[in-house]
Structure 1
Amino acid sequence: MIDTIQIRPLTMSDLDLYKKMQTGIKDDYIIRIFDRLITSDEHQVYGLFVENDLVSIAGYTIFAEQYAMLGRLRSDLRYTGKGYATQLIQYVIEQIKKMPEIKWIGANTQRHNFSALRVLEKVQLPPLKALHASTLVNPERLNNTPGASWTPVTSLEEKREWVSSIENDSNIIFPYQAYYPFPASPNLFKDDEIKNWYFYKNPNEDRVLIVYYDQKKYDYAHVVYLWNDMFKQPGLWETVFEVHELFKEKYGEDIKIRTDLTDVSRKDTHDDAFEIQDPWVLHGIWV
């Protein structure tokens, strides 16, 4: 007997079915935000049903109007090995491709999440870059190069000059939000956003440091630096600490310093200076 398979968008009436899935995930945040995922315009979540059982879910979120980031992949452990997750992700990608405004489709998964990596390989989303999500916890252990603080860039015009060297280079992966990096494009750098970002240029004016407020469970001073020499540039971290003090006055004393380390930059400082996650690997294609 062939099982009946159905794929459709989830509704609020599917919450009880989702709670019955055996995903092996304790305290799954999706249950807490299920109503927001279902009712939001920027999110969409689909379910794959076998007979009347919900066995896999996946969806996407739209960023900066043109990026679709796949996510929320969950599978019932009782149904693994049957290709349902791959079938569902492929279906979601096909739905996204019908949206003319979407120019890029991608996913972000941890390097040792081998099951998710296999699914992304099967649906032909190639890996682009690995980033270590890192929160500074022991600043005294930084192996940085001391120096004078960098020069603030305050005018929108000069900020746009710096951005112009980034926004049209799709080889640059820009951390638009914590856990959400994307290949650069003008859509990531709207004036209404960058006017609130803090820009600093080094003495040689060949490097720029960007810091902006971010919030993912915790409040962050999100440090963006697009080169691999962030611990070798004199004065960079002195500048970061000065901005952090400004952010503490504005957002509260508990705000943390967060950045994305590459495999290369991570080697230049002590691991115990940061709380470092298993690296996230960005996959994606332009469509």
Structure 2
Amino acid sequence: MTNLFAAAKHCFLLADPDEKLDASLALVADWRAGNLNWDSDDEPEQFMQPGRLERPILVPPQQVSKRGFGSLTRRAALIHALAHIELTAVNLAWDTIYRFRGLPREYYEDWLQCAGEESEHFLALRGQLRAMGFDYGDFSAHDQLWGSAVETAHELMDRMGIVHRVFEARALDVIPGTLEKFRELGDSRTVSILTTIANDEIGHVSAGTRWFRYRCEQQGLDPDDTFFQLLQRYLGHVPRGPFNHAARRQCGFSDNELARLEAGG
């Protein structure tokens, strides 16, 4: 029987996106078929980077290809940026499974589902890029999201709080507006893809909240106060709005957290 942690590491280290996603979706199917065990007798390795090809070229966030809605190229650059986030999220899901051991079965189920859905998101966005005459790797990208995973690799609570309740939760605020812009342009295919992503992200951020609070409870910590302490420790500030209150409430953000976010801490 295949070991979940070894298989997650394998998916994470594959460089070619097609191979990574084929392996990822196959691994999710194996889990659902009951073909995996999650015995753990090894120490997780620390990875500074997932497996990746030379393209896209990684640059600082302020130097990424210009994105927008005014031209085909800028719209493609925007879709490329979203595709890069989704592929990074696939790698994050596998690292989150591989790195943190001894957790309830439901934890691994949550992140396997996330890996499968993020894989589907990337495939859909890449298909749209190709339909527009471009492909993944044609534009530059940044690695801020993965950098947050490296910084939080030592502690599950920090990983859940920062990666999923800050960076991934940002999609809850941003995607609805982006979706409406594409709707105004009559791009029904991109609207459909982004609608699916927006709906699935509710589940992913909810999982982040669930396991963040699980770890806070284990350590006897107040989750609201701990979240804002993590914001100061890792970001040095509270993220700026606007915040999608309805979506964030669905993901388990408390009224107190939302009020403090709006107030800047």
TM-score when scaled to structure 1? 0.26
Greater RCO (Cα-Cα under 8 Å, separation 6 or more): 1
Which one has a bigger Cα radius of gyration?
A: 1
TM-score when scaled to structure 2? 0.27
Greater fraction of residues in helix: 2
Greater fraction of residues in strand: 1
